[in-house]
Amino acid sequence: MARPPARKIYAHAKLRRLRTERGMNQVELARTLGISTSYLNQIEHSQRPLTAAVLLRIAEVLGVDPEFFSEAAEERLATDLRAALGDEATGALTSVEEAAEVARDHPDVARALVALHHRYRDTAEQVAALASADASPTSPATALPPAEPHDEVRDFFYAHHNHFGPLDGEAEHAARDWGLESARPATDILRGRLADRHHVTVVRAAPDRSADARRFDAGNRLLFLSPWLSEGQRAFQLATQLALLEHGPLLDALVDADGLTSPQATALARIGLANYFAGALLMPYTVFQAAAEELRYDIELLQARFGVGFETVCHRLSTLQRSGRRGVPFSFLRVDRAGNVSKRQSATDFHFSRLGGTCPLWTVYAAFSSPGRVLTQVAEMPDGKRYFWVARTVTRGGAGHHAPRAEFAVALGCELRHAHRLVYAEGVALDDSRAATPIGLGCRICERRDCAQRARPPAGGRLAVDPDRRTYVPYPVETSDLRSG
């Protein structure tokens, strides 16, 4: 099967900013790189792409990773900008090209506009809460509800491309030092370390005591685990508790470095990093990345080899971005039947919309119709980029007929150029554009005006009634042009 050609890399304004920060002019940098000044000028103005040799030389001279010139961050910023400007408050959706140009050439301006939009949304929600029926005229003005911390934590992981090298390194060393690579069950090893090093006793919680998977009683040094956890889930919870007990300073340093704005967001991010460490401990980076390549990213085979769940493997696969030993760059998300996204991380330029929901044509929603089956999809975005997606349902909850359960769909996606590395792409016509499903980031900022699934017009557009099909056709019209059915 023919592989899609590699995408050309352009420096855009990044190289110019780097050169200025280093106090160099074009002549000096060109001489250091061993290229002509005119060639460097063309590179800085995106008239010539970066060759592999020049890219590596720039990275060496200016002290940056070659991934610095990836367009992923710019494309994410451009999508955020379009979502912000496409809000109901403005009603004017910026074109893809205009947003990309602002994000590329004026990133600080774009980030400022996105930040202003976030503040506007937070303020609007607070005003709505104060104006609700429960609010009394005498309520103190200072009793504003706190901003939602979950989005801030998602942005925290998103900004790091869901990869934290220091945590991966510590977990890999711990797995080796603690003997987790031996044949002895991981739960026995982790339970023993909790007892020997921290005097913590692991207790099986009563079936009706709590819905929590893990609860730590620091005063009595007791760790309560849900009785409904599988062996792999117990190991994960034990590893998470060890991360909190042994690597607290590292977790705090990683969280503090990004300046999260609320105690709630800081606490959530800290727990998220502890979970990251747990996954990295049970699936050490080098061993897991090698196994993923060997098994062609077969999630169920990796699940069996490492003794963890389907969702845990998917999440770990989305973190394999160590320089010099990168895995397939995946986006990962988890949704429920109502379309609520409870997890989303990305090592790619795929961007999850904040505005207007997600696309119902996405295979992650089709997974609910085929529980337990792995579904695949080649999806094409409005800008023409294509991605390969793998999705399956997962179920959480206790045992027994009356025990409450939660059902989710999890999905992994990568750019189509990486799909040939996945076992799931066998037999799929990756190079046939007709096999791709056109999806978008949500109706509010999606340009597809011929979509039969559209739930609302895009920002700045209207829906016209089609009298023949008794349905709505999305295109901008004047009210006087509507024909009655």
Of residues 146 and 153, the one with the higher pLDDT is 153
Mean pLDDT score, 421-429: 95
Note the pLDDT of residue 448.
79
Note the pLDDT of residue 148.
67
129-138, 156-165, 184-193, 342-351: least confident range:
129-138
d(CA 118, CA 116): 5
Percent of the chain at pLDDT > 90 equals 39
Of residues 182 and 170, the one with the higher pLDDT is 170
Note the pLDDT of residue 363.
92
d(CA 318, CA 334): 13
The pTM assigned to this predicted structure is 0.72
Mean pLDDT score, 382-403: 84
Given a contact cutoff of 8 angstroms between Cβ atoms, the answer to whether 252 and 270 are in contact is yes
Domain 306-448 CATH class label = alpha beta
Give the confidence band of 136 by pLDDT, cuts at 50, 70, 90.
Answer: very low
Answer yes or no: is pLDDT of 313 > 60: yes
Note the pLDDT of residue 305.
94
Note the pLDDT of residue 67.
64
> Residue 321 — φ and ψ, nearest 5°?
-125, 35
How far is the CA of 228 from the CAs of 211, 224, 271, 408, in angstroms?
10, 12, 21, 18
Answer yes or no: is pLDDT of 142 > 50: no
Note the pLDDT of residue 480.
37
Answer yes or no: is pLDDT of 473 > 70: no
Percent of the chain at pLDDT > 70 equals 78
Note the pLDDT of residue 394.
94
Note the pLDDT of residue 284.
96
Domain locations along the chain: 14-69, 306-448, 449-481
Give the confidence band of 140 by pLDDT, cuts at 50, 70, 90.
Answer: very low
Note the pLDDT of residue 122.
66
Note the pLDDT of residue 328.
93
2-6, 231-235, 423-427: least confident range:
2-6
Dump pLDDT digits (tens) for 248-283: 999 999 998 877 778 888 999 999 999 999 999 999
Q: What is 342-400 written as a DSSP string?
A: EEEEESSS----SSS---TTSHHHHGGGSTT--EEEEEE-TTS-EEEEEEEEEEEE-SS
Distance, first Cα to last Cα, the chain: 50
> Which of 87-91, 229-233, 235-239 tops mean pLDDT?
235-239
d(CA 307, CA 315): 14
Mean pLDDT score, 321-340: 89
Note the pLDDT of residue 145.
43
Dump pLDDT digits (tens) for 3-25: 445 566 777 677 888 888 888 88
C-alpha 179: how far from its chain's center? 32
CATH fold for domain 14-69: 434 Repressor (Amino-terminal Domain) (1.10.260)
Of residues 290 and 469, the one with the higher pLDDT is 290
Of residues 42 and 376, the one with the higher pLDDT is 376
Mean pLDDT score, 144-154: 65
Q: What is 54-81 written as a DSSP string?
A: HHHHHHHHHT--GGGG-SHHHHHHHHHH
Note the pLDDT of residue 137.
44
Q: Residues with Cβ < 8 Å from 178, sequence gap 6 or more?
A: 189, 190, 193
Within this chain, domains 14-69 and 306-448 share the same CATH topology: no
Residue length, the chain? 485
Residue type, 446: C
Dump pLDDT digits (tens) for 202-218: 998 876 655 678 999 99
3-class secondary-structure state, position 128: helix
Mean pLDDT score, 376-392: 91
How far is the CA of 363 from the CAs of 368, 379, 407, in angstroms?
9, 9, 16
23-37, 100-114, 117-131, 228-242: least confident range:
117-131
Mean pLDDT of the chain: 81
Dump pLDDT digits (tens) for 347-377: 666 665 655 457 888 999 999 999 999 999 9
Answer yes or no: is pLDDT of 56 > 50: yes
Note the pLDDT of residue 466.
47
